[in-house]
Structure 1
Protein backbone atom coordinates (compact mmCIF):
# COMPACT_ATOMS: atom_id res chain seq x y z
CA UNK A 1 0.00 0.00 0.00
CA UNK A 2 1.40 3.38 -1.02
CA UNK A 3 0.72 6.82 0.38
CA UNK A 4 -1.73 9.42 -0.88
CA UNK A 5 -0.83 13.08 -1.35
CA UNK A 6 0.25 14.62 1.96
CA UNK A 7 -1.21 18.15 1.96
CA UNK A 8 -0.28 18.75 5.59
CA UNK A 9 3.30 17.87 4.79
CA UNK A 10 3.39 20.51 2.06
CA UNK A 11 1.87 23.14 4.35
CA UNK A 12 4.29 22.30 7.16
CA UNK A 13 7.20 22.77 4.76
CA UNK A 14 6.43 26.48 4.69
CA UNK A 15 6.79 26.56 8.49
CA UNK A 16 10.20 24.95 8.15
CA UNK A 17 11.28 27.67 5.72
CA UNK A 18 10.49 30.22 8.42
CA UNK A 19 12.05 28.13 11.21
CA UNK A 20 14.58 25.64 9.79
CA UNK A 21 15.47 24.40 13.28
CA UNK A 22 12.24 22.41 13.14
CA UNK A 23 13.90 19.88 10.82
CA UNK A 24 17.07 19.49 12.90
CA UNK A 25 17.03 16.33 15.05
CA UNK A 26 18.37 16.17 18.57
CA UNK A 27 20.41 13.14 17.56
CA UNK A 28 21.58 11.46 14.35
CA UNK A 29 22.40 7.74 14.25
CA UNK A 30 23.20 5.34 11.44
CA UNK A 31 20.17 3.16 12.18
CA UNK A 32 18.21 1.78 15.13
CA UNK A 33 21.06 -0.54 16.12
CA UNK A 34 22.99 2.51 17.32
CA UNK A 35 20.37 3.45 19.93
CA UNK A 36 21.05 2.30 23.48
CA UNK A 37 17.42 1.91 24.51
CA UNK A 38 18.25 0.98 28.08
CA UNK A 39 20.28 4.16 28.63
CA UNK A 40 17.67 6.25 26.83
CA UNK A 41 15.03 4.99 29.24
CA UNK A 42 17.25 5.59 32.26
CA UNK A 43 17.82 9.16 31.06
CA UNK A 44 14.11 9.90 31.35
CA UNK A 45 12.64 9.00 27.95
CA UNK A 46 9.70 6.87 29.08
CA UNK A 47 7.97 6.29 25.73
CA UNK A 48 9.15 5.91 22.16
CA UNK A 49 7.57 6.05 18.70
CA UNK A 50 8.93 5.03 15.31
CA UNK A 51 8.35 5.60 11.67
CA UNK A 52 8.23 2.23 9.92
CA UNK A 53 9.35 2.30 6.29
CA UNK A 54 13.13 2.44 5.89
CA UNK A 55 13.49 2.86 9.64
CA UNK A 56 12.40 -0.59 10.82
CA UNK A 57 11.39 -2.40 7.63
CA UNK A 58 11.89 -2.30 3.90
CA UNK A 59 9.61 0.22 2.16
CA UNK A 60 6.01 -0.95 2.66
CA UNK A 61 7.27 -4.18 4.23
CA UNK A 62 5.77 -6.01 7.20
CA UNK A 63 8.80 -7.76 8.68
CA UNK A 64 11.52 -6.16 10.77
CA UNK A 65 14.69 -5.82 8.69
CA UNK A 66 16.70 -8.91 9.80
CA UNK A 67 19.84 -7.03 10.97
CA UNK A 68 17.61 -4.95 13.26
CA UNK A 69 16.01 -7.89 15.09
CA UNK A 70 18.19 -7.70 18.20
CA UNK A 71 17.81 -3.93 18.51
CA UNK A 72 14.05 -4.22 18.09
CA UNK A 73 13.92 -6.89 20.78
CA UNK A 74 15.89 -4.66 23.17
CA UNK A 75 13.56 -1.77 22.43
CA UNK A 76 10.40 -3.78 23.12
CA UNK A 77 11.84 -5.30 26.29
CA UNK A 78 12.79 -1.84 27.56
CA UNK A 79 9.65 0.11 26.63
CA UNK A 80 7.06 -2.69 26.71
CA UNK A 81 3.63 -1.14 25.93
CA UNK A 82 5.09 2.34 25.51
CA UNK A 83 6.43 1.77 22.01
CA UNK A 84 4.29 2.56 18.98
CA UNK A 85 4.61 2.92 15.21
CA UNK A 86 3.38 6.07 13.47
CA UNK A 87 3.18 5.51 9.72
CA UNK A 88 1.97 7.79 6.94
CA UNK A 89 0.27 4.81 5.31
CA UNK A 90 -0.71 2.13 7.84
CA UNK A 91 -3.22 3.36 10.38
CA UNK A 92 -4.29 6.37 8.30
CA UNK A 93 -7.50 6.85 6.30
CA UNK A 94 -5.59 5.32 3.35
CA UNK A 95 -5.52 2.01 5.24
CA UNK A 96 -8.99 0.59 4.60
CA UNK A 97 -10.33 -1.40 7.57
CA UNK A 98 -6.91 -1.01 9.25
CA UNK A 99 -5.78 -4.00 7.21
CA UNK A 100 -2.15 -2.90 6.98
CA UNK A 101 -1.99 -1.70 10.59
CA UNK A 102 -3.24 -5.03 11.90
CA UNK A 103 -0.75 -6.96 9.77
CA UNK A 104 2.13 -4.83 11.06
CA UNK A 105 0.98 -5.25 14.66
CA UNK A 106 0.96 -9.01 14.20
CA UNK A 107 4.44 -8.98 12.69
CA UNK A 108 6.26 -6.36 14.79
CA UNK A 109 4.36 -7.01 18.04
CA UNK A 110 3.71 -3.35 18.85
CA UNK A 111 0.74 -1.01 18.43
CA UNK A 112 0.29 0.95 15.20
CA UNK A 113 -1.25 4.36 15.87
CA UNK A 114 -4.56 5.06 14.15
CA UNK A 115 -4.46 8.71 13.15
CA UNK A 116 -6.32 11.03 10.81
CA UNK A 117 -3.54 13.51 10.03
CA UNK A 118 -0.28 12.53 8.40
CA UNK A 119 3.13 13.49 9.71
CA UNK A 120 4.41 16.09 10.30
CA UNK A 121 0.91 17.02 11.54
CA UNK A 122 -1.14 15.09 14.07
CA UNK A 123 1.23 15.00 17.01
CA UNK A 124 -1.65 15.42 19.44
CA UNK A 125 -2.96 12.01 18.37
CA UNK A 126 0.27 10.39 19.54
CA UNK A 127 0.18 12.33 22.81
CA UNK A 128 -3.38 11.14 23.38
CA UNK A 129 -2.26 7.55 22.82
CA UNK A 130 0.45 7.84 25.46
CA UNK A 131 -2.17 9.30 27.82
CA UNK A 132 -0.47 11.80 30.08
CA UNK A 133 3.18 11.18 29.23
CA UNK A 134 4.94 14.53 28.99
CA UNK A 135 5.99 15.18 25.35
CA UNK A 136 9.57 15.80 26.49
CA UNK A 137 9.66 12.19 27.76
CA UNK A 138 8.81 10.78 24.32
CA UNK A 139 11.39 9.98 21.64
CA UNK A 140 10.45 9.90 17.97
CA UNK A 141 12.69 7.90 15.63
CA UNK A 142 12.53 8.11 11.85
CA UNK A 143 14.48 8.48 8.62
CA UNK A 144 12.80 11.65 7.31
CA UNK A 145 13.64 15.15 8.52
CA UNK A 146 10.63 16.93 7.02
CA UNK A 147 8.08 14.45 8.33
CA UNK A 148 9.42 12.45 11.28
CA UNK A 149 11.74 15.05 12.82
CA UNK A 150 9.37 17.98 12.30
CA UNK A 151 6.54 15.86 13.74
CA UNK A 152 8.48 15.25 16.94
CA UNK A 153 9.93 18.73 17.23
CA UNK A 154 6.50 20.30 16.83
CA UNK A 155 5.49 18.66 20.11
CA UNK A 156 8.78 19.01 22.00
CA UNK A 157 9.78 15.33 21.78
CA UNK A 158 13.35 14.04 21.59
CA UNK A 159 13.94 13.50 17.87
CA UNK A 160 16.31 10.85 16.49
CA UNK A 161 17.09 10.70 12.78
CA UNK A 162 18.25 7.40 11.27
CA UNK A 163 20.61 8.33 8.45
CA UNK A 164 21.05 4.99 6.66
CA UNK A 165 17.88 3.72 5.02
CA UNK A 166 17.21 0.01 4.74
CA UNK A 167 16.94 0.22 0.94
CA UNK A 168 15.76 2.58 -1.76
CA UNK A 169 14.50 -0.39 -3.78
CA UNK A 170 10.71 -0.23 -3.90
CA UNK A 171 10.59 3.15 -2.18
CA UNK A 172 8.51 6.06 -3.42
CA UNK A 173 10.70 7.90 -5.98
CA UNK A 174 9.63 11.27 -4.62
CA UNK A 175 10.50 10.18 -1.07
CA UNK A 176 13.97 9.17 -2.26
CA UNK A 177 14.62 12.56 -3.83
CA UNK A 178 13.26 14.50 -0.87
CA UNK A 179 15.26 12.45 1.65
CA UNK A 180 18.49 13.16 -0.22
CA UNK A 181 17.59 16.84 -0.32
CA UNK A 182 16.91 16.79 3.43
CA UNK A 183 20.40 15.45 4.11
CA UNK A 184 21.95 18.22 2.02
CA UNK A 185 19.91 20.85 3.86
CA UNK A 186 20.90 19.42 7.25
CA UNK A 187 24.56 19.57 6.25
CA UNK A 188 24.10 23.19 5.15
CA UNK A 189 22.42 24.13 8.42
CA UNK A 190 25.32 22.53 10.27
CA UNK A 191 27.84 24.56 8.27
CA UNK A 192 25.84 27.69 9.10
CA UNK A 193 26.01 26.68 12.78
CA UNK A 194 22.22 26.56 13.04
CA UNK A 195 21.54 24.15 15.88
CA UNK A 196 18.59 22.50 17.54
CA UNK A 197 17.95 23.98 21.02
CA UNK A 198 18.94 21.55 23.81
CA UNK A 199 16.25 19.09 24.83
CA UNK A 200 14.56 20.00 28.16
CA UNK A 201 15.64 16.69 29.70
CA UNK A 202 19.43 16.75 30.18
CA UNK A 203 20.49 13.66 28.25
CA UNK A 204 24.07 12.55 27.67
CA UNK A 205 23.67 11.85 23.97
CA UNK A 206 26.97 9.96 23.83
CA UNK A 207 25.66 7.54 26.47
CA UNK A 208 22.56 6.67 24.44
CA UNK A 209 24.43 6.01 21.20
CA UNK A 210 26.27 2.76 20.62
CA UNK A 211 28.31 4.31 17.79
CA UNK A 212 29.98 7.72 17.82
CA UNK A 213 27.52 10.29 16.37
CA UNK A 214 30.39 12.42 15.04
CA UNK A 215 31.15 9.77 12.43
CA UNK A 216 27.54 9.78 11.31
CA UNK A 217 27.48 13.56 11.02
CA UNK A 218 30.58 13.49 8.83
CA UNK A 219 28.88 10.92 6.58
CA UNK A 220 25.90 13.24 6.12
CA UNK A 221 28.27 16.05 5.15
CA UNK A 222 30.08 13.79 2.69
CA UNK A 223 26.79 12.70 1.14
CA UNK A 224 25.81 16.36 0.75
CA UNK A 225 29.07 17.08 -1.08
CA UNK A 226 28.46 14.18 -3.45
CA UNK A 227 24.92 15.35 -4.11
CA UNK A 228 26.05 18.85 -5.04
CA UNK A 229 28.93 17.67 -7.23
Structure 2
Protein backbone atom coordinates (compact mmCIF):
# COMPACT_ATOMS: atom_id res chain seq x y z
CA UNK A 1 0.00 0.00 0.00
CA UNK A 2 1.29 3.45 -0.92
CA UNK A 3 2.43 5.40 2.14
CA UNK A 4 3.01 9.09 2.75
CA UNK A 5 6.79 9.46 3.14
CA UNK A 6 8.81 12.57 4.05
CA UNK A 7 12.57 12.77 3.53
CA UNK A 8 14.16 15.96 4.84
CA UNK A 9 17.12 17.17 2.83
CA UNK A 10 15.97 14.89 0.03
CA UNK A 11 17.19 16.90 -2.92
CA UNK A 12 20.73 15.49 -3.16
CA UNK A 13 23.18 12.87 -1.94
CA UNK A 14 21.93 10.32 0.56
CA UNK A 15 18.53 12.00 0.89
CA UNK A 16 17.94 11.89 -2.85
CA UNK A 17 18.82 8.19 -2.99
CA UNK A 18 16.39 7.51 -0.13
CA UNK A 19 13.61 9.49 -1.81
CA UNK A 20 14.23 7.67 -5.08
CA UNK A 21 14.01 4.27 -3.36
CA UNK A 22 10.65 5.04 -1.75
CA UNK A 23 9.22 6.56 -4.94
CA UNK A 24 10.32 3.57 -7.02
CA UNK A 25 8.58 1.36 -4.44
CA UNK A 26 5.26 3.11 -5.05
CA UNK A 27 5.13 5.42 -2.04
CA UNK A 28 3.96 9.03 -2.12
CA UNK A 29 7.17 10.90 -1.41
CA UNK A 30 7.76 14.46 -0.27
CA UNK A 31 11.20 15.99 0.21
CA UNK A 32 12.28 19.19 1.86
CA UNK A 33 15.15 21.31 0.61
CA UNK A 34 16.63 24.57 1.84
CA UNK A 35 18.33 26.01 -1.23
CA UNK A 36 18.80 25.45 -4.94
CA UNK A 37 16.35 23.51 -7.05
CA UNK A 38 15.45 19.84 -6.63
CA UNK A 39 16.57 17.63 -9.52
CA UNK A 40 14.12 16.93 -12.32
CA UNK A 41 14.15 13.22 -11.52
CA UNK A 42 12.14 13.89 -8.35
CA UNK A 43 9.39 15.56 -10.37
CA UNK A 44 9.54 12.78 -12.94
CA UNK A 45 8.92 10.28 -10.14
CA UNK A 46 5.95 12.27 -8.84
CA UNK A 47 7.69 13.51 -5.70
CA UNK A 48 6.57 16.67 -3.95
CA UNK A 49 9.44 19.08 -3.26
CA UNK A 50 8.86 21.63 -0.49
CA UNK A 51 11.26 24.43 0.35
CA UNK A 52 11.81 24.36 4.10
CA UNK A 53 14.53 25.47 6.50
CA UNK A 54 14.11 23.09 9.44
CA UNK A 55 15.68 25.65 11.78
CA UNK A 56 12.54 27.77 11.33
CA UNK A 57 9.49 26.39 13.21
CA UNK A 58 7.02 28.27 11.00
CA UNK A 59 8.54 26.81 7.84
CA UNK A 60 8.35 23.30 9.27
CA UNK A 61 4.68 23.75 10.12
CA UNK A 62 3.91 25.14 6.66
CA UNK A 63 5.79 22.31 4.96
CA UNK A 64 3.80 19.69 6.88
CA UNK A 65 0.52 21.36 5.96
CA UNK A 66 1.49 21.32 2.29
CA UNK A 67 2.54 17.68 2.45
CA UNK A 68 -0.58 16.62 4.35
CA UNK A 69 -2.82 18.38 1.84
CA UNK A 70 -1.15 16.51 -1.01
CA UNK A 71 -0.33 13.11 0.48
CA UNK A 72 -2.09 12.81 3.84
CA UNK A 73 -0.46 12.46 7.25
CA UNK A 74 3.21 11.48 7.16
CA UNK A 75 3.51 7.76 7.88
CA UNK A 76 7.26 7.39 7.30
CA UNK A 77 9.73 10.10 8.27
CA UNK A 78 13.41 10.05 7.36
CA UNK A 79 15.21 12.92 9.10
CA UNK A 80 18.22 13.37 6.87
CA UNK A 81 18.80 17.14 6.61
CA UNK A 82 22.08 18.27 8.11
CA UNK A 83 25.04 20.60 7.73
CA UNK A 84 28.74 20.75 8.60
CA UNK A 85 30.86 23.65 9.78
CA UNK A 86 34.19 21.91 10.34
CA UNK A 87 36.91 23.58 12.36
CA UNK A 88 39.38 22.69 15.10
CA UNK A 89 37.87 23.26 18.54
CA UNK A 90 40.04 26.22 19.52
CA UNK A 91 39.17 27.95 16.26
CA UNK A 92 35.48 27.06 16.22
CA UNK A 93 33.18 30.02 16.60
CA UNK A 94 30.03 30.09 18.72
CA UNK A 95 28.09 30.53 15.48
CA UNK A 96 29.61 27.40 13.88
CA UNK A 97 28.73 25.38 16.96
CA UNK A 98 25.20 26.74 17.27
CA UNK A 99 24.30 26.46 13.57
CA UNK A 100 25.24 22.78 13.39
CA UNK A 101 23.38 21.86 16.58
CA UNK A 102 20.38 23.94 15.55
CA UNK A 103 20.08 22.16 12.20
CA UNK A 104 21.22 18.62 12.92
CA UNK A 105 19.71 18.13 16.37
CA UNK A 106 17.03 20.74 17.03
CA UNK A 107 15.80 20.58 13.44
CA UNK A 108 15.42 16.82 13.78
CA UNK A 109 13.53 17.25 17.07
CA UNK A 110 11.20 19.66 15.27
CA UNK A 111 10.33 17.44 12.30
CA UNK A 112 9.95 14.31 14.44
CA UNK A 113 7.67 16.07 16.91
CA UNK A 114 5.45 17.34 14.09
CA UNK A 115 5.23 13.95 12.37
CA UNK A 116 4.41 12.27 15.68
CA UNK A 117 1.01 13.96 15.86
CA UNK A 118 -0.42 11.95 12.99
CA UNK A 119 1.50 8.78 13.82
CA UNK A 120 0.22 8.68 17.39
CA UNK A 121 -3.37 9.12 16.23
CA UNK A 122 -2.93 6.42 13.60
CA UNK A 123 -1.14 4.14 16.10
CA UNK A 124 1.54 3.36 13.54
CA UNK A 125 4.57 4.96 11.96
CA UNK A 126 8.24 4.63 11.07
CA UNK A 127 10.95 7.14 11.92
CA UNK A 128 14.56 6.87 10.78
CA UNK A 129 17.23 9.40 11.74
CA UNK A 130 20.36 9.71 9.62
CA UNK A 131 23.35 10.06 11.93
CA UNK A 132 27.00 9.42 11.02
CA UNK A 133 29.95 7.20 11.86
CA UNK A 134 31.49 10.43 13.20
CA UNK A 135 28.85 10.45 15.93
CA UNK A 136 30.08 7.03 17.07
CA UNK A 137 33.84 7.44 16.71
CA UNK A 138 34.48 11.19 16.89
CA UNK A 139 36.55 13.14 14.40
CA UNK A 140 39.15 15.87 14.84
CA UNK A 141 37.83 19.15 13.53
CA UNK A 142 34.21 18.05 13.80
CA UNK A 143 33.30 18.44 17.47
CA UNK A 144 30.06 20.25 16.58
CA UNK A 145 29.01 17.73 13.92
CA UNK A 146 30.00 14.70 16.02
CA UNK A 147 28.12 16.04 19.04
CA UNK A 148 24.97 16.64 17.00
CA UNK A 149 25.07 13.21 15.38
CA UNK A 150 25.83 11.38 18.64
CA UNK A 151 22.92 13.18 20.30
CA UNK A 152 20.55 11.69 17.73
CA UNK A 153 21.17 8.25 19.25
CA UNK A 154 19.88 9.24 22.69
CA UNK A 155 17.04 11.17 21.10
CA UNK A 156 15.97 8.25 18.91
CA UNK A 157 16.09 5.71 21.74
CA UNK A 158 13.98 7.97 23.95
CA UNK A 159 11.45 8.42 21.14
CA UNK A 160 11.46 4.66 20.55
CA UNK A 161 10.53 4.05 24.20
CA UNK A 162 7.87 6.77 24.26
CA UNK A 163 6.13 5.65 21.07
CA UNK A 164 6.54 1.86 21.14
CA UNK A 165 3.11 1.26 22.67
CA UNK A 166 1.58 2.92 19.59
CA UNK A 167 3.45 0.66 17.14
CA UNK A 168 5.78 3.48 16.08
CA UNK A 169 9.43 2.57 15.56
CA UNK A 170 12.40 4.94 15.67
CA UNK A 171 15.85 3.89 14.50
CA UNK A 172 19.18 5.42 13.54
CA UNK A 173 21.28 4.75 10.44
CA UNK A 174 24.91 5.85 10.76
CA UNK A 175 26.59 6.09 7.36
CA UNK A 176 30.34 6.05 6.97
CA UNK A 177 32.20 7.39 3.95
CA UNK A 178 29.61 7.82 1.19
CA UNK A 179 30.29 8.84 -2.39
CA UNK A 180 28.47 12.21 -2.50
CA UNK A 181 29.24 15.77 -3.55
CA UNK A 182 30.21 16.50 0.06
CA UNK A 183 32.91 13.83 0.22
CA UNK A 184 34.11 14.55 -3.32
CA UNK A 185 34.82 18.12 -2.20
CA UNK A 186 37.33 16.91 0.41
CA UNK A 187 41.04 17.23 -0.43
CA UNK A 188 42.40 14.04 -2.01
CA UNK A 189 44.82 13.55 0.88
CA UNK A 190 41.99 13.69 3.40
CA UNK A 191 39.88 11.27 1.34
CA UNK A 192 42.74 8.77 1.25
CA UNK A 193 43.32 9.16 4.98
CA UNK A 194 39.67 8.39 5.78
CA UNK A 195 39.46 5.54 3.28
CA UNK A 196 42.44 3.87 4.96
CA UNK A 197 40.27 3.42 8.08
CA UNK A 198 37.58 1.47 6.20
CA UNK A 199 38.07 -2.33 6.29
CA UNK A 200 36.12 -2.77 3.04
CA UNK A 201 38.42 -0.17 1.46
CA UNK A 202 35.77 1.64 -0.56
CA UNK A 203 33.13 4.31 -0.37
CA UNK A 204 29.48 3.42 0.12
CA UNK A 205 27.05 4.23 -2.66
CA UNK A 206 24.13 6.41 -1.49
CA UNK A 207 21.84 3.59 -2.59
CA UNK A 208 23.37 1.32 0.06
CA UNK A 209 22.29 3.74 2.78
CA UNK A 210 18.86 3.97 1.16
CA UNK A 211 18.52 0.18 1.15
CA UNK A 212 19.05 0.05 4.92
CA UNK A 213 16.46 2.77 5.47
CA UNK A 214 14.11 0.86 3.19
CA UNK A 215 14.49 -2.29 5.26
CA UNK A 216 13.87 -0.51 8.58
CA UNK A 217 10.64 0.96 7.22
CA UNK A 218 9.46 -2.28 5.62
CA UNK A 219 7.36 -5.04 7.17
CA UNK A 220 10.59 -6.93 7.75
CA UNK A 221 11.81 -4.16 10.05
CA UNK A 222 8.66 -3.94 12.16
CA UNK A 223 10.27 -5.47 15.27
CA UNK A 224 13.36 -3.24 15.22
CA UNK A 225 13.27 -0.05 17.27
CA UNK A 226 15.88 1.98 19.13
CA UNK A 227 18.62 0.44 16.99
CA UNK A 228 21.72 2.12 15.63
CA UNK A 229 22.82 0.54 12.36
CA UNK A 230 26.24 1.54 11.01
CA UNK A 231 26.56 1.35 7.22
CA UNK A 232 30.23 2.15 7.12
CA UNK A 233 32.22 -0.73 5.65
CA UNK A 234 33.32 -1.81 9.13
CA UNK A 235 34.81 1.54 10.09
CA UNK A 236 33.12 1.76 13.51
CA UNK A 237 33.41 -1.85 14.62
CA UNK A 238 33.28 -2.04 18.42
CA UNK A 239 31.19 1.10 18.89
Assess same fold via TM > 0.5: no
| Structure with more of its chain in strand, by fraction | 2
TM-score range, shorter chain: 0.3 to 0.5
For normalisation by structure 1, the TM-score amounts to 0.44
